Chains A and B, each alone.
Chain A
Amino acid sequence: MSTVVLLALTGLGLAALYFLIASGLSLVFGLAGVLNFAHGLFLSVGAYAAWTVSESWGLAPAVLLGIAVAAATGALVELVLIRPLYTRHTEQVLVTVGLSLAGVALLQSVWGADARVFPRPAWASSVVSIAGAQVPADRFLLIGAAVLVLLGLLAFLRFTRYGLVIRAGVENRDMVSALGIDVRNAFTLVFTIGGALAGLAGILAGMYFSSISPGQGASLLIFAFIVVVIGGLGSVTGAFAAAVAVGLLQQFVNYYGTAGAGDVSVVALLAAVLLLRPAGLAGKAAPA
């Protein structure tokens, strides 16, 4: 029993990371039609920015700075690189591919290829006893952050003008323009939000793994992609459900099966979902 609780909470912690990355990816893809390979870069940029000032500024301001830097990176990428290629989706994907290669190499040249030890709040290193299981408190940090982000995102999408524009744009971008709305401002906004959430995910991943490295974003990104596709492109709640499914499946199968079986089973889940429901759990049919 205690093993199950520990596995479940660890799986949910991982799911929280996936969700933070996937929700931004999903909105960016759903609205702007861009499969963003540079999303992993936003994550690493946020983590390294926070790491750099954490000694001198203290942890909380460092976290805020990391999120802000990642958000600014997202906005900048959209304005400078993505916007000039408006509607040319393949080129947009290619640019993000180039950016992910060049960006990781840039991080590597500035901070080195080796992993850096990442600080975490003292309480996150403690252990909480639940139903007989000794659960490290950092799991709750991740899960709490993800739940807050989910609620915040849903409220934003539901109750604000921009949220309305984003929801409508995910359905039919052209029609939003035909109502006299400059939908490209919403593109910049989702890139900024995606960047901020990825930065937060990078920082939390740093705390969870106790270290950061330039390639960390890329490896998390692949599972986030899988979560996005399973959840349905453009759906925040779909991404949340898929993240939970993927995180739990991966943890449990990795523990009870052979090493690596969890990762394989996640891909099998993806294949199954795509064959049965090509649009994902909650999504509309993917455009193009």
Chain B
Amino acid sequence: MLLVAVVLPWSTLSLPGLFEGPLNSPGTLQLLAICLVFAGLALGYDLLFGRAGLLSFGHALYVAAGAYGVDILVSHYGWQLWTAAAVTVPAAAVLAALLGSVALRTSGIAFSMVTLAFAQVGHIVINRDPGGLTGGEEGLPLSSAGLPAMFTGVVNTVNLYWLALAFLTVVVLVVHAIDRAPLGRTLTGLRDDERRIAVLGLSPYRLKLLAFVLAGTLAGLGGVIYALVVGGASPHIASSELTLSLIVMAVLGGAGTRWGAVVGGFLYAYLDQRLARLGGSLPGPFGEPLFVLGTLFILAVYFAPGGLASLGSRLEPLRRALRPRRPGDGHPAPVTDAV
């Protein structure tokens, strides 16, 4: 899949209906870049939700920290992009460590509420425009003065696309490395039965905090990339609605699976943008992207509890039945159990 993404900018193919203009036009590339960023953000969130079983309602805060952090340093203080990013991402990590260490003293629904409340503070502060820093409800456009020439101008949209793809690759590498490492198994063990992990002599609190900080760092990085791709930051990315949509993405795709959240994030972001553009031409509530996505999501919870990733494994018996039988193919292949 990533391979397709790599060759895509050289394609002049037109897919009418799916995209306006050929694949390598700036408009399409920007749309795709946003989809890639959300794919990465969703997978980063799934490290918390699908793997560690932490239902955080405040992930938007760290995305916003990354986006506003870099935006403010570049646009108000005239920093160079790379220096600003190098400061912002660790700052998001520190923020996640501080707030996570408080929030993780609670568990279950209370944890969800505390993270929601912390993020709400971020949303409120950004909306109030303290000291004229955040631009309030209008948002803060990213000043191009501090940006390298390669990221400015419409002709360079392809570079933003590369950047978004690089971000997604980083998230995929990190999360998949964790999946393979003992840490990944410990985290899923934590999700399934916290006492068992505690019996092994590991501290559930520290493990959860580690996952929280890692996810927060990836979110901060994603925020930086997002600000570059869309050319600024707006209060929407700090809202609880953004976190809710990350949850929707992870669940739609298949929480806790290798590629589920990536696919879910990409599709969600694509539909969100396309539906918004088509909005006027669709009848009634179907003109509202959130109506369509929310309804899809509810249907997915009922009819595809493992998300899109589980549909593949559900079709597996059918595929096996159709496959010609080879000697030694006697017992069925294990069906991956999507959670």
Contacts and interface: CB of A to CB of B under 8 A. Distances in A.
Contacts of A175: none
Nearest to A221: B240
A108 B247 contact: no
Contact of A102 (B114, B125, B295): B295
B105 interface: yes
Interface in A89-104: 90-91, 93-95, 97-104
A97 B108 contact: no
A95 B301 contact: yes
Interface residues of A, number: 43
B124 A102 contact: no
A267 B240 CA distance: 15
Given A29-B109, A91-B305, A105-B294, A98 B248 contact: yes
Interface stretch (B74-82, B216-224, B280-288): B280-288
Contact of B297 (A94, A222, A264): A94
By secondary structure, the A interface counts as helix
Interface string B76-118: 0000000000000000000000000010011011101110111
B297 A98 contact: yes
Nearest to A279: B110
Contact of A94 (B117, B124, B247, B284): B247
A101 B121 contact: no
B116 A102 contact: no
A260 interface: yes
Q: Which of B102, B244, B292 counts the most chain A CB atoms within 10 A? A: B244
A274 B263 CA distance: 36
B290 A105 contact: yes
Nearest to B244: A97
A267 B125 CA distance: 12
A270 B120 CA distance: 12
Given A85-B301, A264-B125, A270-B114, 18 more contacts: A37-B244, A91-B301, A93-B55, A95-B302, A97-B244, A98-B248, A99-B294, A101-B244, A101-B290, A105-B289, A106-B291, A109-B285, A110-B285, A260-B125, A263-B120, A263-B124, A278-B110, A288-B109
Interface of B: 55, 102, 105-106, 108-110, 112-114, 116-118, 120-121, 124-125, 127-128, 240-241, 244-245, 247-248, 251, 284-285, 287-295, 297-298, 301-302, 305
6 contacts: A94-B251, A94-B297, A101-B248, A109-B288, A259-B128, A270-B117
